[in-house]
Structure 1
Amino acid sequence: MPSLPWHAIDTVLLDMDGTLLDLHYDNHFWMEHLPQRYAELHGVSRAMAEMELQPLFERNAGQLQWYCLDFWSAELKLPVRELKLETAHLIALRPDADTFLAAIKQAGKRVILITNAHRDSLSLKLERIELAPYFERLISSHDYGFAKENPQFWDALQADIGFDPTRSLFIDDTLPILRSAKAYGVNHLLAVKEPDSKKGAKDTGEFEAVDDYRDLIAGL
């Protein structure tokens, strides 16, 4: 587990899904619930639903529309917002994420949420998990028109909040996003070892990973 040079960190940028919240909700929705409801509402088999959805998912992965509920509602001819409510009981905080948030806020760090989640997804989760009080800002990449994978997201973030990348910590569970942040010059980067509580540890590539948030606040 990495020890952080907290004296050299002013700003903490945090992802939401898979970083602060258990990714099981999102994985279950997109991989299980949505295909099932697509099959039911369009009168096709589950196997046929998956055959139709898979190429769409692959074509749009990592782009802004991948995270956009309006896009998927139109593309799939489904009320995606309403369908997400059907599994909202699965929305859950990752272990001790709130302890970590409270500690870094108490320490006077600037704490900002940056998520690719659509504003409607963000609102749904904030209704169930009290995250907002910990943050100075809650930023969706849809506000800027660029996903976090895109270098232009970081330019837009800089123009918006004015942060020093060399004195910033960014935690995210997606490797292409961490690599995008690294290319921009964000100095302190951490992946997440187990973003989905039902899937076990994942390969975090060249990045050190947080396993237990309580360990991160040592020396804060």
Structure 2
Amino acid sequence: MINLARVPWSEVRCVLLDMDGTLLDLKFDDVFFRQVVPKAFAEKNSLTFEEAYARVFAAYSENQGTLAWYDLDYWSDRLGLDIPLLKEEVAHLIRVHPHVLPFLEAVRASGRPAHLVTNAHGHSLRMKLARTPIGAWLDSTITSHEIGWAKEQPPFWPLLQARLDFDPAATLLVDDAESVLAAAADFGIAHLRQALNPSSGAPPKPSGRFPALMDFRDLGFPPRDQE
């Protein structure tokens, strides 16, 4: 059974939001890393798609959960491909999840700051902000590459707090990655929600240890600031 606990907004003063799979449809990234990159690697190295897929995913697995996993410059060098240029091939798949924009509008109207906190590389962030309207509703955007650690890694969170000066006990984090939520929980962030429907191209993820949402309506929208 999925725990779709609503947010106790009276206890929340700061909102931290993941981008890929949470605000934006992860289908873009899934298609890119599972299809576009292996296909380009196969063509460059005269391999079958299956051979290229195996080699590319072996490289992925070596770096998962680290900052390099999200670094487009690293993958360009590692695979000998222009990764940012290849992303343009499927840029039409970049989409905002349903009900995200009304949620962001409600957070802004409530007077609470909303910060995008993402592992995405700067190129990906700029690309997605240019193709979606989410940036208009965010107080700041911070990538793990600026911090120097991935969100899954414990040093990320005190460094983020130093940047944003938030109270963990009064902060909401919404993310689709359980490993990220676990690191945030260890740091002391009190209000954690897991997005279970990150990609329109895949079935929902099973519910894990954290309260969850299928879409942003499940959180309940914060009341409007009366001041």
**TM-score when normalising by structure 1:** 0.97
Distance apart, 1:219 and its partner CA: 5.6
Indicate the percent of aligned positions where both proteins have the same amino acid. 40
**Structure 2 partner of 1:72:** 75
**TM-score when normalising by structure 2:** 0.94
The amino acid of 2:94's aligned partner reads I
Listed as ranges, the gaps of 5+ residues in structure 1 are none
The answer to whether the aligner puts 1:37 opposite 2:40 as a matched pair is: yes
The amino acid of 2:57's aligned partner reads Q
Distance apart, 1:136 and its partner CA: 1.0
Instruction: Select 2:147's aligned residue among 138, 144, 147.
Output: 144
Q: Which runs of 4+ in 1 moved over 6 A?
A: none
- In 1: Cα distance, 2:95 partner to 2:65 partner: 23
What SS is found at the alignment partner of 1:47?
helix
Distance apart, 1:200 and its partner CA: 1.3
The answer to whether the aligner puts 1:163 opposite 2:166 as a matched pair is: yes
- In 1: Cα distance, 2:148 partner to 2:161 partner: 14
**Structure 1 partner of 2:29:** 26
Distance apart, 1:215 and its partner CA: 3.4
The answer to whether the aligner puts 1:13 opposite 2:16 as a matched pair is: yes
Q: Is the 8 A contact 1:14 1:112 kept in 2?
A: yes
Q: Per-residue displacement from partner, 1:143-179 (whole Å, max 9, x unpaired)?
A: 0110001111101101111100000000000010000
Distance apart, 1:217 and its partner CA: 2.9
- In 1: Cα distance, 2:39 partner to 2:6 partner: 43
Listed as ranges, the gaps of 5+ residues in structure 2 are none
Aligned counterparts, 1:1-220, within 5 A: 1-218=4-221, 220=223
The amino acid of 1:161's aligned partner reads L
- In 1: Cα distance, 2:157 partner to 2:221 partner: 29
Q: Is the 8 A contact 2:106 2:222 kept in 1?
A: no
Distance apart, 1:5 and its partner CA: 0.8
How many pairs were matched up? 220
